[in-house]
Structure 1
Amino acid sequence: MAADPRPLPRCPVCRRRASEESRPFCSPRCAQVDLGRWLTGGYAIPGEPEDAHRIDEDDA
C-alpha cells in the first residue's frame, strides 16, 4: 500500500506537524493541554448569557 502523499496537519496547540500516534496533535502533552482548555472553559461558543434565575413556562 502506498503512503499518503499529503502532509500531516498542524497541531492546533503548538502548530508543529501532527504525529500519527497523537493525531490531530503532535504529542500526548498537546492533547492534554487541549483537554484542559475544554474543561476549564477556555473554549466557548459566543452567545447571549443565560439567565439562571429565569423559569420558563414549560418548566413551571
Structure 2
Amino acid sequence: MLIAACTAALDPDRIAPDPRLAELADHLTFIEQTEKISAAARRASNTSMKPGYGAWCLVILPD
C-alpha cells in the first residue's frame, strides 16, 4: 500500500524513461512471438492425422 501511494505521488513527467528498456522490449517481443509460433507448431504436430506428418522445425535467421 505504501509503495502504491509513493508511486502515485510521483510526477511521471519528471522521470526520464530508461533507453535500455526499448531494446529489452524488442528482445522480449521476439521471444514472445517465438513462443507463440512454437506452441502453434506443437499443437499442429499433436493434432496431425497421420503419424510423421507433425514434424516441424523452427529456423531462426540471424539479423
In the superposition, the TM-score normalised over structure 1's length comes to 0.32
Report which of the two structures shows the higher radius of gyration computed on alpha carbons: 2
> Relative to total residues, which structure has the larger helix share, 1 or 2?
2
